[in-house]
Amino acid sequence: MRKRLTTREYADGILAGQRGILSKAITLVESTLPADRDLAEEVLSLTLRHAGKSIRLGLTGVPGVGKSTFIDAFGTWLTQNGEKVAVLAVDPSSQLSRGSILGDKTRMERLSRDENAFIRPSPAGGSLGGVTRTTRETIQLCEAFGFGVILVETVGVGQSEIAVHSMVDFFMLLMLPGAGDELQGIKKGIMEMADAILINKADGPNLEKARLARAQYANAVRLFPARPGGWRPKVAVCSALEETGMQDAWEMVRDFREMHGKDGFASLRSAQNLEWLHETIRWMLEDAFFGNSHMKNGLLEMETKVREGKLPPTVAARKLVSSYFQGKS
Ligand code: GDP
């Protein structure tokens, strides 16, 4: 049987920079067992005041755009420049593909051996809600540990990007040269969320195409609404393979941080925390309702009535929810 650490041991280990304890604490926050959840919440409460000091970066782009190559190059560039970097992944699709796409250990090979970096794939088999909850908590633990840059990577082009946008300070979108094709793969809403667009693979025969794409995207982002604080999305080119453009990418992040100042992030993050609170209440209520054994029969009965067209879904839902809360009072 695994030896259970106490809350104090977890918290002290994290604050003392023990990577093994950090990994264990993340496993704990990923657990759905009630006893683990209780312990995880205590560890989070104890470490909260040591968190919050990083810059949180989101990174997305279609599969094949070069996210892992970029993170390997950019992360290494950052650690060479004195930063400590944690890379987290949000990959709810792993539930379907039965194995995390982002969890592949051979990705980011150099960074995974870097003692100033820490890579953690998303838990396999989670729902988007579950994965984003644990990612938020993992961010907090990594910050308390002392990572100054948290990179959150997402795969896919949809819900998970929106979720990640709500937990980072700066959102980067990797694109390929050849703007026309790319625009079709990335939803416009995601482009509009980007604080920076990096056109990757700007090397060899693609270099000219990449520069052209930069001009096109720079035009496109001018039409997007300005961010709170007046930030205008920036566009740059890079080559993750040849490791060019890393400094430009980091300078964008630094400009953004400077423009916001410390207070800017504080208000962004407190708004995100409120959103997180409300989201968590919704998940908890949902879990409590659907996990309540007393509701099972009533739910089956209402499902039949709705399927057979005997009751409008809204009426059925209201009856069930009322009976749930009556049972509680
Ligand atoms: P991901 O699916 O977005 O994580 O993409 P990968 O990082 O796995 O890269 C997909 C392919 O593109 C790999 O074969 C990489 O070697 C290649 N690649 C990534 N970055 C670059 C780049 O900057 N230039 C070129 N030419 N190829 C790249």
Residue nearest to atom 20 of ligand 1 (CA): 66
Find tokens 């005041």 and name the residue.
49
In the chain the beta strands, taken as DSSP E runs, fall at: 55-60, 85-90, 117-120, 149-154, 170-175, 196-199, 234-237
The answer to whether residue 146 scores a pLDDT higher than 60 is: yes
- Cα of 237 to ligand 1 centre, how many Å? 14
- Chain-centroid distance, C-alpha 170: 11
Give me the pLDDT at residue 98, please. Answer: 45
**Backbone Cα Rg of the chain:** 22
- Quote the DSSP letter at residue 31: -
Residue nearest to atom 22 of ligand 1 (CA): 201
- Cα of 158 to ligand 1 centre, how many Å? 21
pTM of the full structure: 0.87
Direct distance between the N- and C-terminal alpha carbons of the chain, in angstroms, rounded to an integer = 40
59: Cβ below 6 Å to ligand 1?
A: no
User: What is the per-residue pLDDT across 269-296, written as a single tens digit (0 to 9) for each?
Assistant: 888 999 889 988 998 899 899 989 889 9
Tell me the C-alpha distance between 236 and 64, whole Å.
19
CATH homologous superfamily for the domain 51-260: P-loop containing nucleotide triphosphate hydrolases (3.40.50.300)
Give me the pLDDT at residue 239, please. Answer: 97
78: Cβ below 6 Å to ligand 1?
A: no
State which ligand 1 atom lies nearest to the alpha carbon of 107.
8
State which ligand 1 atom lies nearest to the alpha carbon of 71.
7
The answer to whether residue 91 scores a pLDDT higher than 90 is: no
66: Cβ below 6 Å to ligand 1?
A: yes
User: What is the per-residue pLDDT across 210-263, written as a single tens digit (0 to 9) for each?
Assistant: 999 999 889 988 888 878 778 899 999 999 999 999 999 999 999 999 988 767
State which ligand 1 atom lies nearest to the alpha carbon of 63.
2
Give me the pLDDT at residue 309, please. Answer: 96
Ligand 1 pocket: which of 70, 119, 241 to mutate (most atoms <8 Å of CB)? Answer: 241
Give me the pLDDT at residue 1, please. Answer: 52
Closest CA to 64 of 204, 174, 163: 174
The predicted model gives 140-147 an average pLDDT of: 97
CB distance 48 to 140 below 8 Å: yes
Closest CA to 21 of 118, 165, 87: 118
Mean pLDDT score across all residues of the chain:
88
Closest CA to 119 of 150, 156, 81: 150
Q: At what angle do helices 7-15 and 34-47 cross, to 10 degrees?
A: 40
Tell me the C-alpha distance between 317 and 298, whole Å.
10
- Domain ranges in the chain? 1-50, 51-260, 292-328
- Cα of 224 to ligand 1 centre, how many Å? 28
Residue nearest to atom 12 of ligand 1 (CA): 66
Give me the pLDDT at residue 126, please. Answer: 66
CB distance 173 to 190 below 8 Å: yes
The answer to whether residue 329 scores a pLDDT higher than 80 is: no
State which ligand 1 atom lies nearest to the alpha carbon of 72.
7
Dihedrals phi, psi of 227, to nearest 5 degrees: -80, 165
What's the CATH number for 1-50? 1.20.5.170
Closest CA to 151 of 135, 163, 162: 135
CA angle 225, 201, 190 (to 5 degrees): 25
Residue nearest to atom 25 of ligand 1 (CA): 201
The predicted model gives 82-91 an average pLDDT of: 92
201: Cβ below 6 Å to ligand 1?
A: yes
Count the helix, strand and coil residues of the chain and give each as a percent rounded to the nearest 5: 60, 10, 30
Token code pair at residue 306? 């709705």
State which ligand 1 atom lies nearest to the alpha carbon of 65.
3
Give me the pLDDT at residue 99, please. Answer: 46
The answer to whether residue 123 scores a pLDDT higher than 80 is: no
Tell me the C-alpha distance between 39 and 62, whole Å.
37
Judge if 1-50 and 51-260 fold alike in CATH terms.
Answer: no
Give me the pLDDT at residue 185, please. Answer: 67
Ligand 1 pocket: which of 59, 62, 67, 69 to mutate (most atoms <8 Å of CB)? Answer: 69
Q: Where are the alpha helices (DSSP H) in 186-239?
A: 188-193, 207-222
Token code pair at residue 106? 């051979």
- Cα of 171 to ligand 1 centre, how many Å? 20
Residue nearest to atom 5 of ligand 1 (CA): 66
Work out the number of other CB atoms within 10 angstroms of the CB of residue 208. Answer: 10
User: What is the per-residue pLDDT across 170-206, written as a single tens digit (0 to 9) for each?
Assistant: 999 999 997 565 565 677 778 888 999 999 999 999 9
60: Cβ below 6 Å to ligand 1?
A: no
The answer to whether residue 140 scores a pLDDT higher than 50 is: yes
- Cα of 201 to ligand 1 centre, how many Å? 7
Sequence-ordered list of residues with C-beta below 8 angstroms from that of 283, at least 6 positions apart, any chain = 129, 133
